């Protein structure tokens, strides 16, 4: 499957920005919060009208929280984006490293050296919250888990998630990994708006993998009218988290509850928020196009040889049960990681990380939209002008693969121009902080037989 990206508008017009600003109202209501939640230092919640971006309810929505397996929403976003650029399709075989196979439950039970089909990985992440599949996806798309986490964080900034930092692909405990209810709502809206076809995966309640029926953790599916996803999450430090997408009679909301003491309490609170605030949501498209606007071109996806992690430490489970519910959504099990220890892959991962260019992480992005600010500063490189968007995207994907970590965290982008009434598509990488960085990238690409020149933006 290969779907060409539409070229995103280079910037919002002043009129559109003004209109969007009028629709964004950040509420601070704490009514209808059960006492057990109100007294918790883990609790946060928000309900956002996905048609307009209006906040219908919020409580601690900008407070820093641990996302747990909600992290996998971004892992899936990156995978869906790779599918749209043609780098991956649903039948792509994703290799499983020893480190990925060693991740603690919940998991699919992947073995080191085998592969997992991309669609099975997607369904495993959504239903079972499979940590082994999530890590395999991250290593495949980023070359290492550390580099993929950097790519996830850059993408988060471009979506408007100003208070999120990712450190892994699966959401297992990491003190430096944090987010907010508002940022998770932004990500939920982005998944719905940017990948409407793939979003249908989130309504999957079970699937069969190697003869086993894998059942999902999202208990609101099929119980609450209009709920069509998205994701559950749990660790001891985060509490029980849930992002829900609801669509009824043209009304669309994305709601987030974080920090529940039990899965049942979290689900009940989510159900009450949906019942109260969905009727207040707007009907029709509203300003959805503005809310979902983004830089359509993905961050470079640079598969490299996976590091040897045969001796990777395995996190220690305080409790375990057959079937492996640990970090997904089970009331009976808690996971605790052992003290951090260096992995054999650490040197490889560190060598692959390039500091994020300032121009690639816009600081002023509206917090309740999924808009991506286009940088008007820094440097870009151009590697070709092609007659179709498909050809330009293919050239960018090939260049990203061959250039490896040289490109760092820049963004692949196509831009149109007209010559003699004919439309052409420029293939560019944007977001280099300095001229030297752009020139160095061009030097590498020229050795790979790509034409290349640097452009000041």
Q: What pLDDT shows up at residue 327?
A: 44
Structural domains in the chain plus CATH codes = 14-291 (3.40.710.10), 375-456 (3.30.70.1070)
What pTM did the predictor assign?
0.64
Lookup: tokens for 12: 């919002």
Lookup: tokens for 362: 């816009």
Calpha distance 212→215 (Å, rounded): 9
Calpha distance 59→43 (Å, rounded): 8
- Please confirm, yes or no, whether 102 is among the known catalytic residues: no
Place of tokens 């009940």: 268
The half-sphere exposure of 313 on its side-chain side, counting CA atoms within 13 A, is 11
The rounded Cα 11 to chain-centroid distance in angstroms is 22
Residues recorded for the chain: 457
N-to-C CA span, the chain: 33
Q: How buried is residue 398: exposed, middle or buried, by Cβ count under 10 Å (0-12/13-18/19+)?
A: middle
- Please confirm, yes or no, whether 72 is among the known catalytic residues: yes
Given 69, 97, 102, 244, the catalytic residue: 69
Given 58, 97, 102, 129, the catalytic residue: 129
- Please confirm, yes or no, whether 285 is among the known catalytic residues: no
231 is in an annotated binding site: yes
Q: What pLDDT shows up at residue 31?
A: 56
Mean pLDDT by 10 residues, the chain (457 residues): 38 32 40 79 95 94 96 97 92 96 94 96 96 97 94 95 96 95 96 93 94 91 91 94 95 96 94 95 63 45 36 32 35 29 34 33 30 51 86 86 78 79 85 86 88 83
The rounded Cα 254 to chain-centroid distance in angstroms is 15
Given 72, 107, 162, 247, the catalytic residue: 72
At residue 228, the 3 state secondary structure works out as strand
- What's the angle, vertex CA 277, arms to CA 274 and CA 278, rounded to 5? 70
Place of tokens 């220890």: 341
Q: What pLDDT shows up at residue 27?
A: 43
> Quick check: 424 and 387 in contact, CB under 8 A?
yes
Peptide bond into 230 cis (omega under 30): yes
């Amino acid at each position: 499957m290969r779907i060409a990206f539409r070229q995103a508008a280079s910037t919002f017009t002043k009129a559109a920005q003004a209109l969007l600003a009028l629709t964004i109202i950040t509420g601070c209501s704490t009514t209808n919060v059960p006492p057990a939640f109100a007294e918790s230092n883990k609790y946060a919640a928000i309900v956002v009208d996905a048609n307009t971006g209006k906040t219908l309810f919020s409580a601690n929505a900008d407070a820093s929280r641990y996302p747990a397996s909600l992290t996998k929403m971004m892992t899936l976003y990156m995978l869906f984006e790779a599918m749209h650029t043609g780098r991956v399709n649903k039948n792509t075989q994703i290799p499983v490293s020893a480190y990925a196979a060693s991740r603690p439950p919940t998991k699919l039970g992947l073995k080191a050296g085998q592969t997992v089909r991309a669609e099975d990985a997607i369904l495993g992440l959504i239903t079972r919250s499979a940590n082994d599949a999530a890590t395999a996806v991250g290593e495949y798309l980023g070359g290492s888990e550390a580099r993929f986490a950097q790519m996830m964080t850059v993408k988060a900034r471009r979506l408007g998630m100003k208070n999120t930092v990712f450190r892994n692909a699966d959401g297992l405990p990491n003190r430096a990994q944090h987010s907010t209810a508002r940022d998770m709502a932004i990500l939920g809206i982005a998944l719905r708006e940017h990948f409407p076809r793939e979003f249908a995966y989130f309504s999957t309640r079970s699937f069969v993998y190697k003869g086993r029926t894998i059942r999902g953790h999202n208990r609101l599916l099929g119980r609450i009218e209009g709920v069509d996803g998205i994701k559950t999450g749990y660790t001891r430090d985060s509490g029980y988290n849930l992002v829900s997408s609801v669509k009824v009679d043209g009304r669309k909301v994305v709601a987030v509850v974080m920090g529940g003491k039990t899965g049942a309490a979290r689900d009940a609170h989510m159900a009450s928020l949906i019942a109260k605030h969905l009727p207040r949501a707007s009907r029709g498209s509203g300003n959805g196009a503005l809310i979902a606007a983004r830089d359509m071109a993905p961050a470079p996806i640079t598969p490299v040889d996976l590091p040897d992690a045969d001796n990777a430490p395995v996190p220690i489970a305080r409790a375990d049960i057959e079937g492996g519910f640990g970090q997904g959504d089970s009331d009976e099990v808690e996971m605790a990681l052992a003290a951090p220890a260096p992995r054999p892959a650490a040197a490889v991962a560190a060598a692959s990380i390039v500091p994020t260019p300032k121009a690639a992480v816009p600081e002023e992005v509206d917090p309740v939209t999924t808009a991506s600010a286009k940088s008007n500063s820094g440097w870009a490189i151009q590697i070709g002008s092609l007659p179709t968007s498909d050809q330009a995207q293919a050239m960018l994907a090939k260049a990203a693969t061959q250039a490896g970590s040289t490109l760092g965290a820049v963004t692949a982008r196509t831009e149109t121009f007209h010559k003699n009434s004919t439309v052409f598509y420029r293939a560019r990488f944007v977001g280099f902080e300095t001229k030297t960085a752009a020139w160095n990238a061009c030097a590498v690409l020229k050795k790979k037989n790509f034409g290349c020149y640097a452009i000041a933006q």
